[in-house]
């Protein structure tokens, strides 16, 4: 089994004094999955000076300077009033982020990219070990691992109660720009920590049912091969620009995300051999920053995504053309300001810290878009990542839709299914791509 040797581990404080006090967290922050989101960035060595490539001092110094504008990440998760029943918040203590350096004598970058799938082993190798995600825990942990070939893996773990994927990318891009030479005070997009912009309204108005935030009904009997969070198989599949274009044409010009997810949904239903009358639900997480009225500031730093879903019978999904599933997917991704405000008001009336956060039924799928997150902006001065993606999948039925690095217009899918379903999914997906002329 591959191992990584940890060389150093320290806490890096902001390079300058930062504001103290507390940052109030919104209901969307509290409703986020309680835990850390681990991601990995793979970098191919560039330049002749191996010692200068991702040199620890340069990366560490850049981190310290990035923590000045992003000072809440140097704090700790806290509780208002200091009591056990207090509302979760960020205590801006200025203590710092965990910074680890390591090396792997086993992996070269090309071997790693051929072998990598999001799983516990990869997270354990390339992302720092995280503490229990409860107050007073650190909010950011990073690890720089130098590979046998001279390449580097940058692993990050950010607490999900504090950031969503877009905010995490915002921080990584700013950190990278500082290491490249930009002044720390000139963050490309200044972060905004005013989570009161997503506060519940004085006169709450819950206009929708919001089933995604309620427990699923217990099945009459568990499936014979029910998967748990620790029993999934994961894969990374790439669609070329031409394949994406042809798929979108088959879906009457649907967005890339909707078209790709529609095909994955169809193929997952077939691979799982679900009965035609069974209900299948497509869940998603939608970024509401630009959908609110008025929109959130460009640098809003926190959780601004909401869970949505649509349901159909398996027979409806698999027996119709893929464009039908894409139209269904549109229902998951078209919510606006009134829906988001209704959700925030709904969450004000429930225990947002203890919402259902377990896996989903074997019939369902949860799709998340990481499209539009520019990998070029994660260039620390030695080139853009050769790959970026999640380090783990939390449970079976997850799919991330991402830009494929270095391939303009291509899309990478990171997905997880039950181990017994994954081989059939790969076959069905490849057959369907071929059948559609993709």
What is the C-alpha R_g of the chain? 22
Distance CA 392, CA 236 (A): 12
Active site includes 106? Answer: no
**Which candidate in 61, 111, 124, 379 is catalytic?**
379
| Residues 6+ away with beta carbon under 8 Å from 301 | 70, 72, 163, 167, 170, 171, 191, 192, 193
Distance CA 7, CA 73 (A): 23
| Structure tokens, 393 | 């999948």
Distance CA 78, CA 88 (A): 6
Active site includes 160? Answer: yes
| Residues 6+ away with beta carbon under 8 Å from 274 | 280, 314, 362, 363
Is-contact 118 389, C-beta < 8 A? yes
**Which candidate in 160, 170, 210, 364 is catalytic?**
160
| Residues 6+ away with beta carbon under 8 Å from 253 | none
| Residues 6+ away with beta carbon under 8 Å from 91 | 22, 75, 76, 77, 78, 136
Provide the annotated active-site residues: 160, 379
């Amino acid at each position: 089994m591959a191992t990584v040797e940890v060389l150093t581990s320290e806490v890096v404080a902001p390079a300058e004094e930062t504001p103290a006090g507390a940052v109030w967290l919104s209901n969307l922050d509290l409703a986020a999955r309680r835990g850390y989101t681990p991601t990995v960035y793979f970098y191919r060595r560039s330049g002749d000076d191996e010692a200068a490539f991702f040199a620890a001092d340069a990366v560490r110094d850049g981190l310290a300077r990035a923590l000045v504008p992003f000072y809440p990440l140097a704090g700790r998760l806290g509780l208002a009033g200091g009591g056990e029943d207090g509302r979760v918040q960020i205590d801006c203590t200025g203590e710092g982020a965990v910074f680890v350096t390591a090396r792997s004598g086993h992996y070269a970058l090309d071997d790693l990219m051929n072998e990598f799938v999001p799983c516990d082993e990869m997270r354990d190798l390339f992302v720092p070990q995280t503490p229990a995600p409860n107050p007073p825990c650190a909010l950011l942990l990073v690890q720089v691992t130098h590979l046998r070939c001279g390449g580097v893996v940058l692993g990050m773990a950010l607490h999900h109660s504090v950031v969503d994927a877009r905010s995490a990318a915002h921080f990584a891009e700013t950190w990278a720009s500082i290491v490249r030479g930009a002044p720390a005070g000139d963050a490309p997009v200044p972060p905004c920590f005013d989570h009161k912009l997503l506060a519940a309204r004085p006169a709450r108005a819950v206009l929708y049912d919001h089933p995604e935030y309620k427990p699923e009904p217990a099945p009459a009997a568990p499936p014979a091969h029910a998967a748990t969070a620790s029993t999934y198989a994961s894969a990374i599949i790439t669609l070329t620009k031409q394949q994406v274009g042809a798929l979108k044409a088959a879906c009457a010009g649907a967005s890339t995300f909707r078209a790709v997810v529609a095909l994955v949904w169809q193929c997952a239903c077939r691979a799982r051999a679900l009965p035609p009358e069974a209900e299948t639900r497509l869940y998603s997480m939608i970024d509401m920053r630009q959908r609110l009225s008025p929109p959130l500031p460009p640098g809003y730093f926190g959780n601004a995504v909401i869970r949505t879903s649509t349901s159909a019978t398996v027979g409806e999904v698999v027996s119709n053309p893929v464009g039908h599933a894409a139209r269904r997917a549109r229902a998951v991704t078209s919510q606006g300001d009134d829906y988001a405000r209704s959700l925030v008001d709904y969450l004000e009336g429930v225990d947002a810290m203890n919402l259902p956060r377990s896996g989903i039924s074997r019939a369902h799928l949860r799709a998340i878009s990481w499209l539009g997150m520019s990998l070029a902006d994660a260039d620390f001065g030695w080139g853009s990542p050769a790959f970026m993606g999640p380090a783990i999948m939390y449970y079976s039925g997850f799919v991330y839709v991402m830009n494929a690095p270095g391939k303009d217009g291509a899309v990478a899918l990171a997905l997880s299914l039950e181990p017994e379903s994954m081989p059939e999914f790969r076959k069905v997906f490849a057959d369907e791509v071929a059948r559609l002329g993709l």
